Structure 1
């Protein structure tokens, strides 16, 4: 399949620049993955589409202020570093702009020197490995010096950092939010639980794999970047029990979907585990575990729109997206949601 097969026209004014005041007031397009029929609802209506005995699977990762600005020792300049993933101890894989100012051997200073780094290597994909040095508690230094790594298409400043976190975020480590979960409130989750819907929390730390653009024409030649995941024994038991009892597995977001499909066996069962996944889901993929998906509207030609086009037919997805444009839905991270059922 070609990258251009996943293109659609999106007016720039439909890219959401800020979150709504109330999370659950986002709109919700409900898409029947078999017929292509769509319904326009609000996110608070999601409870009507979740049945007793179903399982809602949420990614409880927490975004770290992973965007840092520094300069080479003794120089006045600005170099942007995005911390993608911790390799070991204080060694991080980073995305750097401009890359020519961060070569192996360069020493980088952040802030007033509370944080320093040695550039160790340049990887094949252009990322840099940097060894960070500091005194004190790393998380506190990062909170002081770092910024929330909002996507480049969001131009407006985020007033409340918590609005780029889900209300159930817990495990720190992401360079971007699992945005499908941003629509949930604690109250809505309680209502869903009271209805008899099982809730399972898993972790995938969102990194370059999720938002790295597809640069090859033949999508099968695209390689995903590895991202770290954890699935607890408790979560595995809840999910397996749901499946055994005939309930639906409803994944919240593409990150939850990729984690579940990475760890599921051919019979649709999972066991607890942790590790790295580079799974790339695109049309032709046969889902082992996920039945339904709650997700946002994704960038044209991205791996994310390719994933949703595997759960529903590509033409059905593109028709739904064109309908969303016509209905003036809000797109991308702070935008509206879709339920593929």
Structure 2
């Protein structure tokens, strides 16, 4: 498909630089079949049904941005994806000054050796010493705000809490699963009281989620890979909910992508552990989810393509135009949408045209 189909104009003032306070006070645009409603995230219990299940990503954002030097040259590194106990792949600022084998000093007794450079431009970084890399990052790193926020203001102490969800438990993400930022203990109690359950899975969000689609056709875009895990108990619960007539509502595109990576053609979700590079575009037949809570995404992005696959391109462009006109707040710290496709749309789509990259049992990444 032509990537231009997913373009739209977004005024800069619609980009949120801070989250709503309290978090569940954020606005929520509900697309329920052909209907559209203006509500707040706190209204979510009334928009779902008893027996539904919300699925959250429990990944935890690590302080993945580093500033260092190679000799006289200043080098910035944003960690992207773990490749081993001491090796991370990173996007490098001032990459022209870095070569394979160069040592980078990040201060605070933290250093790394640059390794090979991949096709996406990222370098491998091998951290020196014997301390866990997590401890090194706590000393030398800072919270990796998305580029559209970082370009407008510096990271500060508030972001350490603001950019972490209440479900964060498994360290490894370099970007937050931002749809879950809207949830609070009070909201979770209200959902439980309404008979709406929840569970978690893990997908470590990489910095590749912010990479632009440079190809003119979606068929030519190479999706970044991210590591995720759905254990047997979680898979069983997802299957049981749907078997009982409930709906599986993914909270965030990361949860959705991992579920769709683990579900078979028969609609059964199976345990999964490994890399996924699933790329969902219009024409995809959703097999594992029935709805999505998500924020408002960038034009021409893979995430806007995903929500367009779920609800329809024109439907989403109309909804985004409405959100812009009515001053909804966009992107990571912005407002939310609840997307509930009609039954005919949800069941009538065709198989995806893009391949799914699955590399199961990458256990070296799961326990560190």
Q: Do 1:201 and 1:235's aligned partners in 2 also have CA atoms closer than 8 Å?
A: yes
1:30-76 C-alpha deviation (Å, 9 max, x unpaired):
012x32x311101100111121111111000000000001111xx23
TM-score (norm 1): 0.96
RMSD: 1.2
Shift of 1:86: 1.3
Moved more, 98-107 or 315-324: 98-107
1:155-170 paired onto structure 2 within 5 Å: 155-156=152-153, 157-160=155-158, 161-170=160-169
SS state at 2:270 partner: coil
> Which whole-Å CA distance do the structure 1 matches of 2:136 and 2:86 have between them?
13
* 2:43 aligned to which of 38, 42, 45: 45
> Which whole-Å CA distance do the structure 1 matches of 2:191 and 2:179 have between them?
16
Residue of structure 2 equivalent to 1:76: 72
Shift of 1:209: 3.9
SS state at 1:51 partner: coil
Q: Do 2:50 and 2:196's aligned partners in 1 also have CA atoms closer than 8 Å?
A: yes
What are the ranges of 5 or more consecutive residues in structure 2 without an aligned counterpart? 341-368
Q: Do 2:80 and 2:208's aligned partners in 1 also have CA atoms closer than 8 Å?
A: no
Number of residue equivalences:
336
1:215-262 C-alpha deviation (Å, 9 max, x unpaired):
000011111111000111221111110010011110001000000000
Residue of structure 1 equivalent to 2:107: 111
Q: Do 1:198 and 1:238's aligned partners in 2 also have CA atoms closer than 8 Å?
A: no
Shift of 1:116: 1.2
Residue of structure 2 equivalent to 1:212: 211
Runs of 4+ with >4 A deviation = none
Shift of 1:282: 0.6
1:258-299 C-alpha deviation (Å, 9 max, x unpaired):
000000011211122211000000101010111110000000
TM-score (norm 2): 0.89
- Residue 200 (1) aligns with residue 199 (2): yes
> Which whole-Å CA distance do the structure 2 matches of 1:21 and 1:191 have between them?
18
